[in-house]
Chains A and B, each alone.
Chain A
Amino acid sequence: MLPDKEKGFMLFDRELPQDEAPDERLKHYKEFSTSLPPERITEQAYRCMNCGIPFCHSGCPLGNQIPDFNELMKDEDWEEALHVLHSTNNFPEFTGRVCPAPCETACVLGINEPAVTIEINEREIADRGWREGWVTPQVPERRTGKTVAVVGSGPAGLAAAQQLNRAGHNVVVYERSDEPGGLLMYGIPNFKLDKQTVLRRVGQLKEEGVEFICNAEVGVNVPTSKLDQYDAVLIAIGSTKSRTFEGMSVPGSDLKGIYPAMDFLPQQTRRVLGKTVKVEEILATEKNVIVIGGGDTGSDCVGTSLRQGCKSLVNLELMPKPPVDRVGSNPWPQWSFVFRSSSSHKEGGERRYSVLTKSFEDDGKGNVSALNTVQLAWGEPDETGRRQMQEVPGTEERIPAELVLLAMGFTQPETDTFVKELDLTLDRNRFGQGIQANTLDFMTTKDKYFVAGDARRGQSLVVWAIHEGRESARAIDLYLMGESTLQASDSQGYESLSLEGSPVGT
């Protein structure tokens, strides 16, 4: 007998599957998360209250119809649940693994109880779909004869490519790396997102008819002019320029042994995939490692370094340690700025907060041997929300390190190749700058050239990238055809029907 759907939240506690123990999982690079037994997964779905206002799906950039798929899970209609998921999200198996789940911090149950396990539920639906063979190529019934080039095959590019192809356009994806996927492929470590999962999805796209051209960097080994032959071009090249100490007058920041995280992480993935590393190898093995930057990339560096067998690991963060619980000025359903530990942090290493790097020390051979830090004191936020920092005298410290990984964020897309040639305008965003376009038509300052994802908005989450990929695909479809039946995250799409005499058609 199934429980009363309306009372599930009063009957069941939040329960997450047990991950493989850190000691064990550190021995390999495979995914270590597990599943709950099937009936207990359903119980978790029962905790969803199917709210009158599901704040969760406003918390989700994609607009995932969370209560709907949870209801279907309660009814054990997994296939339909997968369909609902796919109606807003091309790649639920990715977001089900790597999304920080802003939906869960907006979950209504989260006001006074632990939130619903939305992300795990999503993953379970997606994985089951693949297991059961419900995910099949959806080849468009007819072709429009229009061609679209997508530059970059990260989550934004992939999502756009799939959507555009389904709308019947011929899509060619240019990827400068040897495999499609962008950060999904080489950025995120395999233990968080198994690369077979990515390849599997790319395989679906290929079968649907999307053409991938790898090792093809526009403006480098593909002439920029090539793009001109397409009816539309989507630039989805990400925001890949790492923030470094360059220009910040930190002595020693050019020493050997100091690398941006994105020089370090892809190498490990290549090794896992059995590919060769063609450049100088960066390994943490037997080293004292310092990771600067407490975000997701930093945590990926931590997990990877630990697996490589580092001697010690310290993770530094400029900002203060967040509170354990929400503070009054950060109420539900906002994203909660609270102390979180990623799975990698649970595996080892030490985290320090409010730490400013003052300088790096040379071992005499041009290699880094230590870094000097000072503690910071942070003031209260001013009207604009900004906080002043002050060094605390007498807190200087020296930390030995042979490998320093910089995970301090990304500032902008790489613009010195074709972007420059095309003479696209850039504008400022929260992190630096991006290629200018709005979120209505996603068009750059140049006709038929569109931009989506981090390249436009600055560094962000995978969900945002998928969202922009989908929305820009719709914009391109409208641009090409005058109407679009591609799904939009915020509407059913009536406004983009074109009907004779219709005042609503565009």
Chain B
Amino acid sequence: MSKREISRSGLYEPYYEHDACGIGFMCNIDGKRSHEVIQNGLQILVNLTHRGACGCDPETGDGCGIMLHLPHELFKEDVLEHGFELPEPGDYGVGMIFLPKDRESRESCMQILNKAISEGDQELLGWRDVPRNSEAIGWLARENEPTVRQVFIRRSEDLSIDEFERRLYVIRKSATQMIGNSVISGKSEYYVPSMSARTIVYKGLMLPDAMDKYYLDLADERAMSGMALVHQRYSTNTLPAWSLAQPFRFLAHNGEINTLRGNLNMMDSREHHFESSLFGEDLAKVRPILSPGSSDSANFDNAFELLVRGGRDVDHAMAMMVPEPWSGHESMPDDKKAFYEFHACKMEPWDGPASMAFSDGVRIGAVLDRNGLRPSRYWVTSDNQVIMASEAGVLHHITQDKVVKKGRLEPGRMFLVDMAEGRIVDDAELKEKFANRNPYREWLDTYRIEMPTDLEEGTSTQEETPLMERQQVFGYTREDMEIILTPMAEDGKEPTGSMGNDAALAVLSPRPQLLFNYFKQLFAQVTNPPIDPIREDIVMSLETDIGLEGNLLGESPEDCKQLHLKSPILSNAQLDFIKKLDRDGFRAAVVSTLFEADKGPAEMDRALHAICKEAARCLEDGANMIILSDRGVSKKLAPIPSLMATGAVHQYLVHKHKRSECGLIIETGEAREVMHFALLTGYGAGAVNPYLALETLDDLKHREMFVEKKPGMAHKNYIKALEKGLLKVMSKIGISTQQSYRCAQIFEAVGLNSAIVERCFSGTASRIEGIGLKEVALESLMRHAMAYPEKPARRAELDVGGAYRWRRRGEFHQWNPETVAKLQHSTSQNNQKTYDEFAEEVNNRNRTLAALRGLLEFKEGTPIPLEQVEPASEIVKRFCTGAMSYGSISAESHENLAIAMNRIGGRSNTGEGGEDPRRFERDEKGDLRRSAIKQVASGRFGVTNEYLVNSDELQIKMAQGAKPGEGGQLPGHKVFENIATVRYSTPGVELISPPPHHDIYSIEDLAQLIHDLKNANVHGNVSVKLVSEVGVGTIAAGVSKGKADLVLISGHDGGTGASPLTSIKYAGLPWELGLTETHQVLVENDLRDRIRVQVDGQMKTGRDVAIGALLGADEFGFATAPLIVSGCIMMRKCHLNTCPVGIATQDPELRKKFQGKPEHVVNYFFFVAEECRKIMAELGFRTMTEMVGRADMLKFSPLPEHWKAKHLDFSRVLHVAKAWDNSTLHHSKTQDHGLDGALDHTLIEQAKAALEKKEKVRIKVDIKNVNRTVGTMLSSELTRRHGLGMYTGSLPEDLVWIDCMGIGGNSFGAFIIQGVTLNIVGESNDYVGKGLSGGKIIVSPSPEFSGIPGENIIIGNVALYGATAGQAYINGVAGERFAVRNSGAWTVVEGVGGHGCEYMTGGRVAVLGETGRNFAAGMSGGIAYIYDKSGSFSLKCNMGSVDLKGLHADSVVDLKTMLENHVKYTDSAVAKSILANWTEEQQHFVRVMPRDYARVLKQQKQEQPEVTHAS
């Protein structure tokens, strides 16, 4: 195979690469150096191998590395050969340098570095070739392998070591600058992994076990270190690079920085305002601080390095960049809050999932992000060592008798070892130290201004222009009034809708669109989790500070001279407050963003330039608050779109390095819905005042369009709804704070040209070009002209809109009266002619109006006779129906689709919500109602072992087209008896699907779940459902590396049962972009042939299928169309349970109206397939297989007559990816799931008697962290062999009893069934008992371990997630999110981390020790018993849905039985002592009782007594 360059002409964008990984460190607390430490570090890496990934070359891997103390003893002897001598440790520094392979380039680089050293007044001691063995690494890594040398630099005597480190930083940065600016041909290969007097980093593209084979230094016994900090990378990206391996100079990162774009922009802007006595004039040499072309982790390291070299301690710097969530913290001391508040004025958090391990060589530590989204476990040993890693048990040789403490990192907490002081410094001590650094609260009180929240709302500034005219100028529609504003003002809630978005993209609509409509929200999927802003609001914050920023490198009281806002949405009175501010540091200036309408579109361009200059001038005149205002529109004056004005001014000030000097406030009549505010703040606004929306509400109220419950409530409710919406938009991408969301630009543009993007939205992806400034101006002028017609011929009226539903004068919709009627008629009458008319209607309208594929045409092929094309009956096997849950649609319609798909050999999908096992058998007519695809979504409802075993395909839903990044909610009144049964929940009790899968916060977690599901059903395929957005291709590459068999790319426009309108309209992108990017990236990386690619999103016709195939899809999903065939008429009220045709409803009366027939659906799919065959014949393809990925058969067909679409450019979409040698453009190989080595093969072998004869078996095995998903394959084999299930019976308890000795790997006991008991002696990692399906798990510490169970962690995060039944006895502390979404397991544990019992819907949990914060958030069912002797529990409990009560008669019996079992199985000392004194001790228990559940139980009790015994 030859070296390949990744093509940049397709849709691939390196910026969107992600990585995640395993990290760890090992150190001697006293810093004592030994070679053993290095060996242990490498061993940690090897034992985390499964957390990394490999691309196409199995030996290359995505990279790993190790940070060590300088191995002085080795260097000292070794450099002698190089002709120089080393001084004492501390007196010299070492640079680890990747150099170009090309000799000339290399020497030029070395010369420049040498020069930088002497310019830094330090002495070059010499260079050393780092001994390496290139044979130890893979071919791909070899092709990119740099020359690796070390440079030795003597410290000049006038410098202390810290000063010397700072000087080395300056030397490194200035050399890098100079080389970057040089003409050296191989300069891109130059990179400095580390340059320090204390630490050194060895890293590269290799697998962990190759580290010391490649870098011979690492194997050299003379190499000694007191610490080893390691990192193993799993990159979603394309060909990985040596330089991106970690650790970086200070840290290793597991996770992802979501706010990177904003952080980059703000750092860029503020770096010119740095002042530092420590750096003096050298400061100029270290700019630019960041390296925007590299990864988030690399940039984090850059910023961190600056803070540290700028004089802050590593721990202080880390607390600034990754602060704890302080704003809503109920028990945080005020001085600590003040510390965070003060620092928030200087820098926004770098937000996102993160476990950071860091060291400056003296201190070594780790920190976890505020959400605690990455695992970090540590052991402290009796011989004074600390081992910290993503998993417990990474050093297999350490025996339990040596471990004295087992802990984990907690959300927002820091763990630090001071090797100089030789001790562990705990979080509380550290934070107290920070808080006491300065009188921060006093400073804040003196200098910061707090925005009042209780201002009297006076009459707003009156404008002469009548309201209606202004509404028209800003494009208000009747829908805005009825659908958006009224519900917000009435209920304070975001409006919801259903059935997706089938209106034209903004750039394809001939009607004028608000500039907002050209943007789509990006969202978290796979590589980072979205957040639940409601249930986990403790981490969310809308607070921001605006105004002049202080010097990042200094610390003075006036640094906090800013205006503090509780929320970025300003009422009129609050805006007035700002306008009236007039004191030093707080001066506002208003810049008008209007332009003269009659001068035509070019005038807007001029005006835009003018306002940027005006803003800068205001700054020079001493303003610190720039208010961009579009007040005062008139017949003469039209507004510049507020987003454009905001973006332009923000970017202008960033480029002029002035942005950090002021707050940017937008006073606009345009913004009215959540997306508008998200965009304005996302592109730079600090605060927004929607004056016209507020005035419109007053008018609506005046016209009695809604009733205001209390005077002033309408404004309050509206702003509240906006705030909730903003939090949701932020949380979708996993950002917790407005401070970080601001300027983070988490959007993709569709249909804007690069000139606009460059000028106003720099850095935003816009991949198909589109309209320019002139068209944007025209759109504004068109709205203006509607308000001020030359000769008015009618009473002024608002546009009907038609964005959210079809209206005759409104926006075009693909589903309209004609298409719906024709589709229904053709399929119910099996009428080819009517179908042809339908297809013609869709395909033609597409061409002119709706989706991107409308702009594509087939090239001329070499036609073949139709008979030679594979039959339709083959093609329909590639068709699937969409994931619609039983619950969102009626049983009738759900089964209708399943029967149809089973008849034609396609696949239907359960959706989230289980499936009645009665559907697994054929009915009397021979029809099968079983869905071939079983979905596994975040709520895990009904995901049992039986469910998984009875599937052909298991689909992990990472996101959903209509609302990516969001969870769902099935309100109690919709949880009918039959729905509750298949969801394993209680009728009448609300069910919540969390936004993230709580076992997937990162790509390696997804790989773990894929592995789990594959173990649960070795015969099924595992698919991963993603939603199109920029970067989805790199995620798909990660998914392919994670061994999924299929990846589904969903378009943004897919249907939904219920979703906020903001999400339906604005989240996600067209599948044409996502599919193409996915296909291109997979092919470029040689990952395409091992995975099937499926596409869905408003698929309707054979033409859609053909285009999908040519762009790279093997399979196709349809949802709305088959529903319409079944009778759906797009009422778009699925969320109201009032579907008048019996589809999206559970109302028995309405269900009777369902008229769909499977044969109609069958007819439809055959029509589609036949239409597709005709196209295949025209193009000359005999089979679909031949057709997949042949984008060369498509051409872009612009529409010269369409005033907007004609500016599009599809060249990147139609870039043709070429397959590697011996590979294909379509799916042709199977994934190697690596199941051969599973421990379960041994278990199955040993459990033969149980499998064959249901005889009792007892097994004993040794277990390590690399043994993952233990017990699962065995359970599924038992289910399959014995036909076990909900209606078919289960095995006797403890039939197979397995004693496991050691440390369990991830997903220990996942999906195990009743009859299987796993008893682990030792400890275990994350996801213990995931999806527990009746089995029993016992975890107790090794008898040799001396720690107290209640004080030591024994299992990792997210245990018992989605458990449906079974028991678990945990004699120790569990990590975060214990029993999340448990619906049936009964369990006892001795302590839990944060978010315990979140979303729980059933079962019983007894906690005999401490709990973390936010316990019981979103808990709607089941009961938790907390042993709360100290009485502190109520502070930690989220009281949103539960009440705290004492025990009562039934619960006493329950709890006692549980405790007795706990003692019986684990010999728990705590449980024993409680039982010993039961009468008194039972008083200390708090019963956590969900209100919903209590109500339902009460009802039930009247009918039948509650089950009171753990079974």
A and B physically associate? yes
Binding site for B on A (CB under 8 A): 6-7, 9-10, 49, 51-55, 57-59, 63, 65, 68, 71, 75, 77, 83, 87, 106, 108-109, 111-113, 138, 140-142, 144, 163, 166-168, 328-329, 331-334, 477, 481, 483-495, 497, 499-504
Nearest chain-A residue to B1206 (Cβ)?
A503
Would you give the shortest CB distance from B776 to chain A, in whole angstroms? 13
Map CB proximity to A onto B687-721 as digits: 1 under 8 Å, 0 otherwise.
00000000000000001110000000000000000
Q: Which of B653-661, B779-787, B937-945 faces chain A?
A: B779-787
Nearest chain-B residue to A328 (Cβ)?
B829
Q: Which of B810-832 contact A (CB under 8 A)?
A: 810, 813, 815-818, 820-821, 824-825, 828-829
Given A167-B793, A485-B794, A501-B600; 10 other pairs, CB 8 A cutoff: A59-B817, A63-B808, A65-B809, A87-B794, A112-B1155, A489-B809, A492-B799, A492-B810, A494-B782, A495-B510
Nearest chain-B residue to A87 (Cβ)?
B797
Checking B791, B795, B821 against A167 with a beta-carbon cut-off of 8 angstroms, the contacting residue is B791
Checking A53, A58, A489 against B1130 with a beta-carbon cut-off of 8 angstroms, the contacting residue is A53
Q: Is the CB of A499 within 8 A of B793?
A: no
User: What residues of B have a CB within 8 angstroms of the CB of A68 in the complex?
Assistant: 478, 800
When chains A and B are docked, how far (Å) is the Cα of A465 from the Cα of B1127? 34
Pairs A-B, 10 closest by C-beta atoms: A52-B1132, A58-B817, A500-B600, A503-B1203, A485-B789, A63-B808, A52-B1130, A167-B793, A52-B805, A53-B806
User: What residues of A have a CB within 8 angstroms of the CB of B818 in the complex?
Assistant: 58
User: What residues of B have a CB within 8 angstroms of the CB of A163 in the complex?
Assistant: 793
**B1131 at the binding interface (Cβ < 8 Å):** yes
Nearest chain-B residue to A332 (Cβ)?
B821
Please list 26 pairs of residues, one from A and one from B, whose beta carbons are closer than 8 Å in the complex, sorted by A's number. A51-B1130, A51-B1131, A52-B1133, A53-B820, A55-B817, A55-B1129, A58-B816, A63-B809, A65-B807, A75-B704, A83-B795, A109-B1140, A111-B1129, A140-B793, A141-B791, A141-B792, A334-B821, A485-B793, A485-B794, A486-B794, A492-B786, A492-B810, A494-B512, A494-B782, A499-B781, A503-B1203
Q: Is the CB of B1140 within 8 A of A333?
A: no
Checking B778, B817, B829 against A499 with a beta-carbon cut-off of 8 angstroms, the contacting residue is B778
Nearest chain-A residue to B816 (Cβ)?
A53
* Also in contact, A502 and B778, with CB within 8 A (given A6-B1138, A75-B705, A492-B810): yes
When chains A and B are docked, how far (Å) is the Cα of A503 from the Cα of B1132? 35
User: Which residue among B793, B800, B817, B820 has the maximum number of chain A CB atoms within 10 Å of its CB?
Assistant: B793
Q: Is the CB of B601 within 8 A of A166?
A: no
Q: Is the CB of B774 within 8 A of A331?
A: no
User: What residues of B have a CB within 8 angstroms of the CB of A57 in the complex?
Assistant: 807-808
**B1153 at the binding interface (Cβ < 8 Å):** yes
**B856 at the binding interface (Cβ < 8 Å):** no
User: What residues of A have a CB within 8 angstroms of the CB of B1155 in the complex?
Assistant: 112
User: What residues of A have a CB within 8 angstroms of the CB of B1130 in the complex?
Assistant: 51-53
A interface: dominant SS: loop
User: What residues of A have a CB within 8 angstroms of the CB of B809 in the complex?
Assistant: 63, 65, 488-492
User: What residues of B have a CB within 8 angstroms of the CB of A65 in the complex?
Assistant: 800, 807-809
* Also in contact, A497 and B786, with CB within 8 A (given A57-B808, A63-B809): yes
Would you give the shortest CB distance from A349 to chain B, in whole angstroms? 36
Binding site for A on B (CB under 8 A): 478, 482, 499, 510-512, 600-602, 703-705, 774, 778, 781-782, 785-786, 789-795, 797, 799-800, 805-810, 813, 815-818, 820-821, 824-825, 828-829, 1127, 1129-1133, 1136, 1138, 1140-1141, 1149-1150, 1153, 1155, 1203
User: What residues of B have a CB within 8 angstroms of the CB of A503 in the complex?
Assistant: 1203
Q: Is the CB of B1149 within 8 A of A499?
A: no
Would you give the shortest CB distance from A54 to chain B, in whole angstroms? 7
User: What residues of A have a CB within 8 angstroms of the CB of B815 in the complex?
Assistant: 53
* Also in contact, A499 and B808, with CB within 8 A (given A166-B794, A333-B817, A485-B793): no
* Also in contact, A6 and B1140, with CB within 8 A (given A485-B791, A499-B600): no
When chains A and B are docked, how far (Å) is the Cα of A153 from the Cα of B818? 33
When chains A and B are docked, how far (Å) is the Cα of A484 from the Cα of B511? 16
When chains A and B are docked, how far (Å) is the Cα of A352 from the Cα of B570? 74
Q: Is the CB of B785 within 8 A of A497?
A: yes
When chains A and B are docked, how far (Å) is the Cα of A504 from the Cα of B799? 18
User: What residues of B have a CB within 8 angstroms of the CB of A112 in the complex?
Assistant: 1140-1141, 1153, 1155
User: What residues of A have a CB within 8 angstroms of the CB of B794 in the complex?
Assistant: 87, 138, 166, 485-487
Would you give the shortest CB distance from A435 to chain B, in whole angstroms? 26
Query: How many contacts between A and B, using CB within 8 angstroms?
Result: 166
When chains A and B are docked, how far (Å) is the Cα of A260 from the Cα of B805? 47
When chains A and B are docked, how far (Å) is the Cα of A111 from the Cα of B809? 24
When chains A and B are docked, how far (Å) is the Cα of A489 from the Cα of B821? 21
When chains A and B are docked, how far (Å) is the Cα of A10 from the Cα of B1137? 12
Nearest chain-A residue to B813 (Cβ)?
A53
Q: Is the CB of B793 within 8 A of A168?
A: yes
User: What residues of A have a CB within 8 angstroms of the CB of B793 in the complex?
Assistant: 140, 163, 166-168, 477, 484-486
Q: Is the CB of B800 within 8 A of A492?
A: yes
User: What residues of B have a CB within 8 angstroms of the CB of A485 in the complex?
Assistant: 789-794
When chains A and B are docked, how far (Å) is the Cα of A113 from the Cα of B790? 47
Nearest chain-B residue to A163 (Cβ)?
B793
Nearest chain-B residue to A331 (Cβ)?
B825
When chains A and B are docked, how far (Å) is the Cα of A493 from the Cα of B789? 11
Q: Is the CB of B1136 within 8 A of A331?
A: no
User: What residues of B have a CB within 8 angstroms of the CB of A51 in the complex?
Assistant: 805, 1129-1132
Q: Is the CB of A501 within 8 A of B782?
A: no
Nearest chain-B residue to A473 (Cβ)?
B793
When chains A and B are docked, how far (Å) is the Cα of A30 from the Cα of B1349? 95
User: What residues of A have a CB within 8 angstroms of the CB of B806 in the complex?
Assistant: 52-54
Checking A141, A486, A501 against B602 with a beta-carbon cut-off of 8 angstroms, the contacting residue is A501
User: What residues of B have a CB within 8 angstroms of the CB of A481 in the complex?
Assistant: 791
When chains A and B are docked, how far (Å) is the Cα of A9 from the Cα of B1139? 11
Would you give the shortest CB distance from A220 to chain B, in whole angstroms? 33
When chains A and B are docked, how far (Å) is the Cα of A108 from the Cα of B806? 14
Nearest chain-A residue to B781 (Cβ)?
A499
When chains A and B are docked, how far (Å) is the Cα of A140 from the Cα of B818? 37
User: What residues of B have a CB within 8 angstroms of the CB of A53 in the complex?
Assistant: 805-806, 813, 815-817, 820, 1129-1131
User: What residues of A have a CB within 8 angstroms of the CB of B499 in the complex?
Assistant: 52
Would you give the shortest CB distance from B1309 to chain A, in whole angstroms? 46
Q: Is the CB of B1129 within 8 A of A108?
A: yes
Q: Is the CB of B774 within 8 A of A501?
A: yes
Would you give the shortest CB distance from A52 to chain B, in whole angstroms? 3
User: What residues of B have a CB within 8 angstroms of the CB of A486 in the complex?
Assistant: 793-794
Nearest chain-A residue to B1149 (Cβ)?
A10
When chains A and B are docked, how far (Å) is the Cα of A140 from the Cα of B499? 43
User: What residues of A have a CB within 8 angstroms of the CB of B800 in the complex?
Assistant: 65, 68, 492
When chains A and B are docked, how far (Å) is the Cα of A284 from the Cα of B287? 103
User: What residues of B have a CB within 8 angstroms of the CB of A500 in the complex?
Assistant: 600-601
When chains A and B are docked, how far (Å) is the Cα of A159 from the Cα of B403? 93
When chains A and B are docked, how far (Å) is the Cα of A138 from the Cα of B478? 23
User: What residues of B have a CB within 8 angstroms of the CB of A140 in the complex?
Assistant: 791, 793
When chains A and B are docked, how far (Å) is the Cα of A466 from the Cα of B497? 35
When chains A and B are docked, how far (Å) is the Cα of A332 from the Cα of B820? 11
Nearest chain-B residue to A55 (Cβ)?
B817
When chains A and B are docked, how far (Å) is the Cα of A286 from the Cα of B790? 62
User: Which residue among B781, B797, B815, B1140 has the maximum number of chain A CB atoms within 10 Å of its CB?
Assistant: B1140
Checking B703, B786, B817 against A494 with a beta-carbon cut-off of 8 angstroms, the contacting residue is B786
When chains A and B are docked, how far (Å) is the Cα of A77 from the Cα of B820? 32
Would you give the shortest CB distance from A2 to chain B, in whole angstroms? 11
User: Which residue among A9, A10, A53, A490 has the maximum number of chain B CB atoms within 10 Å of its CB?
Assistant: A53
Nearest chain-B residue to A164 (Cβ)?
B793
User: What residues of A have a CB within 8 angstroms of the CB of B829 in the complex?
Assistant: 328-329, 331
Nearest chain-A residue to B1142 (Cβ)?
A112
Would you give the shortest CB distance from A17 to chain B, in whole angstroms? 25
User: What residues of B have a CB within 8 angstroms of the CB of A501 in the complex?
Assistant: 600-602, 774, 778
Would you give the shortest CB distance from B1200 to chain A, in whole angstroms? 10
Nearest chain-A residue to B1132 (Cβ)?
A52
User: What residues of A have a CB within 8 angstroms of the CB of B600 in the complex?
Assistant: 499-501
User: What residues of A have a CB within 8 angstroms of the CB of B792 in the complex?
Assistant: 141, 485
When chains A and B are docked, how far (Å) is the Cα of A180 from the Cα of B1343? 106
